[in-house]
């Protein structure tokens, strides 16, 4: 059974969260907190977000693997649309767009101690498997409908028109997103992260069908029987039956008659 509080994560519960979730496809949003790992403790970062009433669900230090959870997964966070840096005063934090924070059966917001100009996937990602596995348990699909998040410079240049360009259609499909891909927000993180390294590559393996042999191996045939070759007309019909292109066999009159 999935856990509302991530197993193994430290808890610092926020007094204010984003309220009840409104339903929809489950999703996870990765955002950066504008500070390098180890430049600030994960506890200090969490307490800052709580005091400014803009908590995300998880705060993660990819260097040490430390994880703090601020909001249970069945409640909405308040980080989307709020400033991404930690060095903001409470009186400068704008109201978060609650309609985005509350969309989805779950809408998990992961704040990473990192800067969008230096994608955190280029370094150690200690503890990422535990986070992604926890998201798996809540049926967040391992897909990125909007593709790889934009690089830091491109995201900054597009910030003014981001609200119009960020697709609500892609957002509604659920899965994993960068904060820079969330409609209605002007977040620019997490930068050009390597999404395959974060959630893994998932390629459907197709195994070709093995066709039965037309001649029985001599070693498996009864002693009284020798391998028997099929006449060309019967061979053509047999190819149709096993699913090979009909045109290759229908050139034989015997097969057309059948």
All structural domains of the chain with their residue ranges: 10-199, 216-258
Q: CB within 8 A of 113, min separation 6: which ones?
A: 33, 35, 36, 37, 38, 39, 40, 42, 45, 59, 60, 61, 62, 63
Contact 100, 184 (CB under 8 A): yes
Tens digit of pLDDT at every position of the chain (258 positions): 799 999 999 999 999 999 999 999 999 999 999 888 788 999 999 999 999 999 999 999 999 999 999 999 999 999 998 877 776 555 555 555 557 999 999 999 999 999 999 999 999 999 999 999 999 999 999 999 999 999 986 655 555 444 445 789 999 999 999 999 999 888 889 999 999 999 987 533 333 344 444 444 444 444 444 444 445 445 444 444 444 444 444 454 444 444
- Half-sphere exposure of 86 toward its Cβ, with a 13 Å CA cutoff? 24
Q: Which residue has the tokens 């391992």?
A: 142
Q: Provide the whole-model pTM.
A: 0.74
Q: CB within 8 A of 69, min separation 6: which ones?
A: 5, 6, 9, 10, 11, 12, 57, 58
Contact 152, 79 (CB under 8 A): no
Closest CA to 148 of 168, 119, 123: 119
The DSSP code sequence of 101-114 is HT-BS-EEEEEESS
Contact 139, 155 (CB under 8 A): no
Protein fold of 10-199: Lysozyme-like (3.40.80)
């Amino acid at each position: 059974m999935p856990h509302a509080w991530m197993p193994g994560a430290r808890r610092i519960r926020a007094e204010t969260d984003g309220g009840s979730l409104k339903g929809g496809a489950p999703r996870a949003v990765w955002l950066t907190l504008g500070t390098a790992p180890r430049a600030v403790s994960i506890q200090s970062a969490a307490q800052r977000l709580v005091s400014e009433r803009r908590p995300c669900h998880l705060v993660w230090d990819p260097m040490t693997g430390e994880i703090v959870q601020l909001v249970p997964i069945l409640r909405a966070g308040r980080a989307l649309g709020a400033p991404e840096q930690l060095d903001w005063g409470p009186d400068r934090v704008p109201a978060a767009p609650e309609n985005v924070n509350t969309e989805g059966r779950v809408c998990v917001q992961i704040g990473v101690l990192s800067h969008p100009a230096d994608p955190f996937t280029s370094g150690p990602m200690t503890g990422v498997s535990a986070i992604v596995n926890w998201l798996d348990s809540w049926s967040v699909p391992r897909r990125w409908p909007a593709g790889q998040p934009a690089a830091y410079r491109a995201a900054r240049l597009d910030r003014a028109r981001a609200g119009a360009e960020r697709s609500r259609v892609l957002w509604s499909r659920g899965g994993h997103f960068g904060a820079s891909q969330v409609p209605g927000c002007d977040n620019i993180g997490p930068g050009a992260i390597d999404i395959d390294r974060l959630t893994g590559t998932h390629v459907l393996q197709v195994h070709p069908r093995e066709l039965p042999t037309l001649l029985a191996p001599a070693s498996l045939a009864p002693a009284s029987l020798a391998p028997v070759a099929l006449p060309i007309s019967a061979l053509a019909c047999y190819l149709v039956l096993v699913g090979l292109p009909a045109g290759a066999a229908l050139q034989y009159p015997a097969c057309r008659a059948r």
